[in-house]
Copies of this chain bind each other. A is one copy, B any other.
Amino acid sequence: MSILVVGSVAFDTVATPAGRAENILGGAATYFALAASYFTEVRVVAVVGEDFPARHEDILKNHGVDTRGIERAKGKTFRWGGQYLDNLNEAKTDFTELNVFEKFQPRIPKEYADTKFLFLANIDPTLQTAVRREMNGVRLTGCDTMNFWIQGTPKELAETLKLVNVLLINDTEVKMLAGEKNLLRASRKVLTMGPQALVIKHGEYGATIFFREGAFGIGKHPFRAPALPIEEVKDPTGAGDSFAGGFMGYIASQGEINREVLKRALFYGGVMGSFAVEQFGTERLQNLTREEIDARFQIFRELTHLE
């Protein structure tokens, strides 16, 4: 079944120990859409400026992504610059030029109205809530957020969280959101805020999914997927969004939501995140095959599988 992602499409300028890339295609919705496109039909709602070249949109279209929801506004596309020279696990932002993204008002094309799976990438929670309310026929909503909204707009974020099924954030964000240092207690607290499931991304250590009791009609025991030890992380940008794309894309492809599907989705999330960081920007995500993805899925499975 198709999935809709609402989020940023951007130009990124990135410096890492492996090199530097300027004005490459980036943005949470871009990474998510490319990663999810290997599993299911993807629709995008975003905004770009007049400087956004057709060849970038073609990258998405070539992966079967429906780009009718990408609005072209007067002005320049959102630009972000950052570096990972000291720490591959955390970006140091050099500049943020919101440009057309500053006044982003997501408009859902009427052709998208039947979408059953929704992912609210990391944008203003007020916009996330509005989109979720408009898409009131969805079966499952995933959501991302970040420290900026957790600290800056906690009330608005609380409203959003009441409307989402799965929240995907990292260790630091879980603890910040719950105001609690212990990860397990923090997770329990976040699960009282609305989501039935919480996916915590641990970077190179994988990810854990925690369930509210009775969520999706399944047990409440957590599940963890490992990450692959990677020889060279060229560019960590987009790893989390690619994870979300693999996770949500696999769920949408299955139609049914049960424990085994969510477990496999967690592995596919890790797989897509691990591919994303192997090249700068979206390069690796542009040139994958489902066979490569499933081969890595097997490696991940073997990594922790006991007979």
Contacts and interface: CB of A to CB of B under 8 A. Distances in A.
Interface of A: 182-185, 187, 202, 204-206, 208, 210, 221-226, 229-233, 260, 263-264, 267, 299, 301-307
22 contacts: A183-B204, A184-B231, A185-B231, A205-B206, A206-B226, A221-B299, A221-B302, A222-B303, A223-B302, A223-B303, A223-B304, A224-B226, A224-B303, A224-B304, A226-B226, A260-B307, A263-B306, A264-B306, A267-B306, A304-B305, A305-B305, A305-B306
Secondary structure of the A contact surface, majority rule: mixed
A184 B224 contact: no
Nearest to A263: B306
A198 to B, nearest CB: 12
A184 B307 CA distance: 25
Contact of A182 (B205, B221, B223, B232): B232
Contacts of A301: 306
A224 B205 CA distance: 10
Given A202-B205, A205-B202, A205-B205, A225 B184 contact: no
Across the A-B interface, the 6 shortest Cβ-Cβ residue pairs? A205-B205, A304-B304, A184-B229, A224-B226, A184-B231, A224-B303
Contacts of A185: 231
Given A205-B205, A205-B206, A206-B205, A184 B230 contact: yes
